[in-house]
């Protein structure tokens, strides 16, 4: 997962989509755009849902990487918490 996160982040930086000064508001706007594309795919273009869902996840991974969040560790913690609720 770490390779995916680092490659995705580096690629997005290289494309000029994010940089060191990218703000939370800018990430939220990017996430909103991708979520809307996912919604559109779910309603009109079901064959494209996988692509759009992946885009939503990639924006989230970029957000975590940008703020130094170990998202893999956090996902494991959240899953463990959910298991404990069973």
The whole-number mean pLDDT for each consecutive block of 10 residues of the chain, a chain of 86 residues, reads 97 97 98 98 94 98 98 97 96
pTM over 0.85: yes
Residue 39 is predicted with a pLDDT of: 97
Residue pair 49/41 in contact (Cβ under 8 Å)? The answer is yes
Structure tokens at 20: 């060191």
Residue 11 is predicted with a pLDDT of: 98
Distance linking the first and last C-alpha atoms of the chain: 27
Residue 67 is predicted with a pLDDT of: 97
3-class state of residue 43 by DSSP: helix
For residue 78, the enclosing domain spans: 2-84
Tell me, what CATH number does 72's domain have?
A: 1.10.287
Residue 26 is predicted with a pLDDT of: 98
3-class state of residue 45 by DSSP: coil
Report the domain count for the chain: 1
- Read out DSSP for 59-78? HHHHHHHHTT--HHHHHHHH
Residue 45 is predicted with a pLDDT of: 84
């Amino acid at each position: 997962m770490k390779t995916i996160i680092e490659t995705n982040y580096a690629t997005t930086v290289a494309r000029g989509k994010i940089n060191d000064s990218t703000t939370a508001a800018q990430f939220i706007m990017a996430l909103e755009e991708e979520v809307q594309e996912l919604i559109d795919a779910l309603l009109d273009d079901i064959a494209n849902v996988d692509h759009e869902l992946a885009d939503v996840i990639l924006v989230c991974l970029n957000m975590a990487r940008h703020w130094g969040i170990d998202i893999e560790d956090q996902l494991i913690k959240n899953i463990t918490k959910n298991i404990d609720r069973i």
